[in-house]
């Protein structure tokens, strides 16, 4: 698998043949979402729609929890790459809902490989697919 440049800290986006694999990789925080992770997911779903070679995506989480929802300690500022995050969130006001598959869902299938708990935003993802 080749990691793509749209990956962000703790959201790894890889291409495996015709499948886009998106991995929430923040085990120490039960894969709690940060603004950077939401942007990685958002960009992954846009790539899924725009890349004719891709036929579907798989979303999974590392560790024993799929996703514990939004990390309230991370805050909306975004931490690393804060300027890029703030700019993109201004351009796409509902980016968080698109990342969680509530709005503007991809036209191709997204398969969830869920193991462990899915809380708050993690449940939103489950409902979005």
Backbone CA torsion sign across 112, 48, 9, 17: positive
The pLDDT of residue 103 = 85
Q: Determine, yes or no, domain membership for 120.
A: yes
Place of tokens 């036209």: 107
Give how many domains the chain has, as a whole number.
1
93 falls in which pLDDT band (50, 70, 90)? confident
Full-model pTM: 0.88
Q: Determine, yes or no, domain membership for 129.
A: no
Q: What is the full DSSP assignment across 14-48? A: EEETTEEEEEE--GGGTT-B-HHHHHHHHHHHHHH
120 falls in which pLDDT band (50, 70, 90)? confident
Q: What is the CATH number of the domain that holds 104?
A: 3.90.226.10
Domain limits for position 104: 2-124
pLDDT, one tens digit per residue, over 75-92 is: 655 556 567 777 887 888
Distance between CA atoms of residues 124 and 129, nearest Å: 9
């Amino acid at each position: 698998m080749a990691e793509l440049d749209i990956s962000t800290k703790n959201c790894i986006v890889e291409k495996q043949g015709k499948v886009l694999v998106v991995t929430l990789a923040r085990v120490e925080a039960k894969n709690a979402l940060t603004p950077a992770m939401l942007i990685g997911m958002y960009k992954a779903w846009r790539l899924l729609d725009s890349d004719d070679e891709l036929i579907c995506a798989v979303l999974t989480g590392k560790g024993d929890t799929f996703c514990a929802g939004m990390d309230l300690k991370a805050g909306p500022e975004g931490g690393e790459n804060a300027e890029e995050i703030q700019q993109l969130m201004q351009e796409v006001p509902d980016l968080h809902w698109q990342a969680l598959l509530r709005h503007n869902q991809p036209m191709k299938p997204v398969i969830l490989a869920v193991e462990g708990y899915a809380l708050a935003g993690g449940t939103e993802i489950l409902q979005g697919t």
